[in-house]
């Protein structure tokens, strides 16, 4: 875990003055996968693992960013900069993207600044994270949101969390090349202790659902990350958009898969490839599952919630085709180890599963999952018991 005081001391040694501290959490999505870029519903919770930024302003327009995890220090301009081509997905590109987009977003409201840096000032940043990187727990959104929060605060800008989340999403599109939805950035901003967030990604209406103390959320890391994930992600999004174009011709009210029913999808089946039909079917059914899961949670009906998670996983595996052998193995093992339900979480192609487990069964569950996954794959999985936590914030030292 990151110790904030330790981080502040490290900053003082590196940059010779005291920092302010900021953090933004990773997330696990309980249900509602690949629905957010279809105007649908999602139900993530913020993890008790965060990316931390120790930061202090500079007098020039330079951002000096140092990453503890990567052991690198990089220097970039604070103002608008073009994305690197081709996109490298280097950690500093997220910082570059956020500072560039925030400068751009802020400009119409604050036309000029005396520093000449446009809207974001130069800053020294020391970044450290205990969100596992590349494990599907949104380490990149945590990095973007923590840096964005820090840069706005150092520039004495008001922090509007929706605007910050959107700016970070745009940075991800333009500077990392993934055409992601808004789920990860919104939960990094709006996490709440002890609650999952039911988010309508069209209206951005937010409902915090209390997680009962008898329930535990467990994340099992398959320890694998398959390449091509970003290209496959964008391809899924393109399939959904192609489906919407056909649906909208027949049913003019449909703007996104959020608006369609399975009956409407069946009505245009003859005009869709089998692949697009299955992709759209997943999204439409998954949206309904999120709403059903919210009701089940309210009724403390964890069996139903668990069944919805199982259905979600099957649909992601067979119709959306974003799972992989290791995720399927982990889900099967988790179900045999006594969870209410289990599914892959996040974009897919490796990373983590999420399981709901009765509080009293957690120790057994962990031991069984670790043993069986090792037997089956030769890898020792990390299993995290997750506590729903707060979203991004400045942390007093
Ligand atoms: C990634 C994206 C999110 C969302 C999920 C899948 O985490 O960043 O916007 O689309 O995949 O649900």
pLDDT digits (tens), the chain, 397 positions: 999 999 999 999 999 999 999 999 999 999 999 999 999 999 999 999 999 999 999 999 899 999 999 999 999 988 767 777 767 779 999 999 999 999 876 554 443 444 445 578 899 999 999 999 989 999 999 999 999 999 999 999 999 999 999 999 999 999 999 999 999 999 999 999 999 999 999 999 999 999 999 999 999 999 998 766 789 999 999 999 999 999 999 999 999 999 999 999 999 999 999 999 999 999 999 999 999 999 999 999 999 999 999 999 999 999 999 999 999 999 999 999 999 999 999 999 999 999 999 999 999 999 999 999 999 999 999 999 999 999 999 998 8
**Atom number of ligand 1 nearest to Cα 183:** 9
Contacts of residue 154, defined as CB under 8 A and 6 or more positions apart, other chains included, come to 20, 55, 56, 57, 121, 123
Q: Output the pLDDT for position 116.
A: 47
Task: Quote the DSSP letter at residue 192.
Answer: B
Helices 325-336, 302-318: axis angle to 10 degrees equals 160
Contacts of residue 321, defined as CB under 8 A and 6 or more positions apart, other chains included, come to 278
Q: Output the pLDDT for position 113.
A: 42
Q: How far is CA 348 from CA 44, 206, 316, in A?
A: 15, 25, 9
**Atom number of ligand 1 nearest to Cα 35:** 12
Residue 213 Cα to ligand 1 middle (Å): 27
Task: Quote the DSSP letter at residue 253.
Answer: T
Tokens 């008790």 found at: 48
Q: Output the pLDDT for position 226.
A: 72
Q: Output the pLDDT for position 111.
A: 38
Q: Is 184 in the pocket of ligand 1 (CB under 6 A)?
A: yes
Tokens 């001391």 found at: 9
Q: Strand, coil or helix: what is 347?
A: coil
The C-alpha atoms of residue 50 and residue 215 are separated, in whole angstroms, by 22
State which of 27, 184, 219 you would mutate to test the pocket of ligand 1, scoring each by most atoms of that ligand within 8 A of its C-beta.
184
| Active-site residue, 184 included | yes
Residue 156 Cα to ligand 1 middle (Å): 31
Residue 76 Cα to ligand 1 middle (Å): 28
Q: Output the pLDDT for position 397.
A: 83
The C-alpha atoms of residue 173 and residue 38 are separated, in whole angstroms, by 16
């Amino acid at each position: 875990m990151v110790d904030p005081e330790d981080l502040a001391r490290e900053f003082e040694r590196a940059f010779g003055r005291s920092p302010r501290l900021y953090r933004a959490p990773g997330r696990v999505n309980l249900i509602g996968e690949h629905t957010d870029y279809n105007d649908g519903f999602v139900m993530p919770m913020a993890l008790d693992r965060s990316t931390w930024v120790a930061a202090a302003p500079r007098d020039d327009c330079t951002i000096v960013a140092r990453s503890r995890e990567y052991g690198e220090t990089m220097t970039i301009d604070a103002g608008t900069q073009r994305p690197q081509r081709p996109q490298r997905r280097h950690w500093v590109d997220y910082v570059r993207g956020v500072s560039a987009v925030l400068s751009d977003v802020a400009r119409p409201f604050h036309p000029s600044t005396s520093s000449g840096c446009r809207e974001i000032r130069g800053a020294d940043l020391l970044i450290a994270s205990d969100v596992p990187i590349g494990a599907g727990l949104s380490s990149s959104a945590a990095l973007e949101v923590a840096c964005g929060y820090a840069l706005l605060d150092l520039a004495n800008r008001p922090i509007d969390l929706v605007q910050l989340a959107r700016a970070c999403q745009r940075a991800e599109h333009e500077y990392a090349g993934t055409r992601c939805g808004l789920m990860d950035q919104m939960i990094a901003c709006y996490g709440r202790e002890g609650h999952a967030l039911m988010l309508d990604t069209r209206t951005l209406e937010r409902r915090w659902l209390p997680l009962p103390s008898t329930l535990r959320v467990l994340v099992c890391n398959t320890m694998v990350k398959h390449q091509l994930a970003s290209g496959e992600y964008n391809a899924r999004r393109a399939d959904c958009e192609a489906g919407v174009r056909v649906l909208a011709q027949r049913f003019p009210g449909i703007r996104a898969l959020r608006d369609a029913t399975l009956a409407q999808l069946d009505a245009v089946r003859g005009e869709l490839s089998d692949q697009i039909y299955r992709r759209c079917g997943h999204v439409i059914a998954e949206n309904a599952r999120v709403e059903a899961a919210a009701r089940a949670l309210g009724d403390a009906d964890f069996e139903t919630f668990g069944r919805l998670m199982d259905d979600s996983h099957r649909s992601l595996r067979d119709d959306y085709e974003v799972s992989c052998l290791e995720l399927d193995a982990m889900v099967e093992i988790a179900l045999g180890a006594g969870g209410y339900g289990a599914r892959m979480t996040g974009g897919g192609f490796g990373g983590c599963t999420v399981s709901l487990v009765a509080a009293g069964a957690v120790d057994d569950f962990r031991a069984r999952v670790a043993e069986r996954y090792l037997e089956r794959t030769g890898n020792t999985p990390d299993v995290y018991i997750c506590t729903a936590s707060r979203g991004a914030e400045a942390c007093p030292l």
